[in-house]
Amino acid sequence: MSQGTLTLSTGFEGGSALPVSVSGETLRIRLRADAAGRDMNWFYFRISGAAGRELRVVIENASDLSRLAGRDEVPDCWTGYRPFVSANRRDWTRCDADYADGVFTIKTPAVADTVWVAYYPPFPMDRHDAMIAAAVSDGRCRLERLGVTPQGRDLDLLRIGTPGPGKPKVWIMGRQHPSETMAGFFVEGLLARLLDPSDALGRALCDALDIFVVPTVNPDGCAMGNTRLNARGMNLNRAWDGTDPETAPEVAMILTRMRAEGVDFCLDAHGDEELPYVFLGGPLEIPSRSSRLDTLFNDFGQALERSCPAYSMDDPYPGGAPETADLRMAWNAIAEEFDCLSILLEMPFKDTHRDSDPEMGWSPARSADLGRSMLDAIDAVRRRLR
């Protein structure tokens, strides 16, 4: 699509937007749904010919998105949101935007002739591969392949530490939902501290725990530029109860390994488009809930509160706790099957109202910092997981 020298492209990994028109300094686009439905928050596109122009990118169908229950008192994902722009796909800054009458308008600064605009900074598969390579350069970490996705990509597992009598089995997962790229930065920060030979806590956890990390649960969806679904049109975080290996092979592969190894702790990292805070979900509504799991979750949250200024236990699961856990979701299903402390972590796309950053909001750097802080919370409960 072009007019003169101004062009918009999505022909690269993770790219997603449907061009509509170019008129003067205004580009009009529509969000692309993953499949039949309304999973379509994510956008990531390149504009060429931008030098010297103050561009406006208008998303015409922003209001078509559905919202989760219990969010009536919370601003929607577009209100107050500022997307990211980059001239080199390494350094990202926020840009101005506004939302009115169902239309989201991005005001793209002319930082270079070619700019990339994204809902959140991408975490591409080459960065995933670099993270894997850095991790396995440490002798305590080994790379395994859980299997191959429908599009032929490896489902990577990092195995850290060694099994032994009484060693808790700790699982960390990220990016069931491709658009929630902060989960990639979170795992990157967690691994960096865990495998830092100068970090005493990292060394202690590697010695004391048997750790399994699946950094990218949905590599096909990530490469395709999907918002939530995998290549077969499945929301993987709704596939953990009665898992179908045809529609959710990634979940089936992970569950097979979990059942072979055991699970004493699991953390599943996500992002939330609307809420201005970091929050946790715990195994508090599962059918087999217990005071033991309730105490562990509370102690974990208190430890994270001490180690991360952006988190507070006063910021609860939105809309209040449901009466009955949805066992299609990973953290609930894993807690129920393995009688273990299993936690949902949600990070904001916007910013936190605690320890806020007016310039960058919740940035990749802050996601990585939270990953590093998470070791303190794991350490607080590791001796009591069983």
Enumerate residues 6+ apart whose C-beta is below 8 A from 239: 247, 248, 251, 328
CA of 177: how far to CAs of 39, 41, 67, 166, in Å? 10, 11, 16, 33
Strand pairing report for 169-174 and 210-214 = parallel
Residue 185, φ and ψ in degrees, nearest 5: -65, -35
CA of 141: how far to CAs of 132, 164, 179, 192, 252, in Å? 10, 16, 27, 12, 24
Sheet strands (E) in 136-263: 141-148, 154-160, 169-174, 210-214
Tokens of residue 129, six digits: 């591969």
Phi/psi-derived region of residue 339, left when phi > 0, alpha when psi is between -120 and 50, beta in every other case: left
Q: What is the 3-state secondary structure (H, E, C) of 17-54?
A: CEEEEEECCEEEEECCCCCCCCCCCCCEEEEECCCCCC
CA neighbor of 157 nearest in space, from 263, 222, 269, 250: 250
Q: Residue 144 catalytic?
A: no
Per the CB < 8 A criterion, the answer to whether 54 and 106 are in contact is no
Enumerate residues 6+ apart whose C-beta is below 8 A from 5: 48, 49
- The amino acid that residue 110 corresponds to is A
Per the CB < 8 A criterion, the answer to whether 194 and 206 are in contact is yes
* Catalytic residue from among 250, 273, 274, 346: 346
CA neighbor of 336 nearest in space, from 255, 275, 271: 255
Strand pairing report for 84-86 and 114-118 = antiparallel
Burial per residue of 249-265, b for 16 or more beta-carbon CB atoms within 10 angstroms, e otherwise = bbbbbbbebbeeeebbb
Place of tokens 């303190």: 376
Q: Give 115's DSSP letter.
A: E
Which residues are designated catalytic? 346
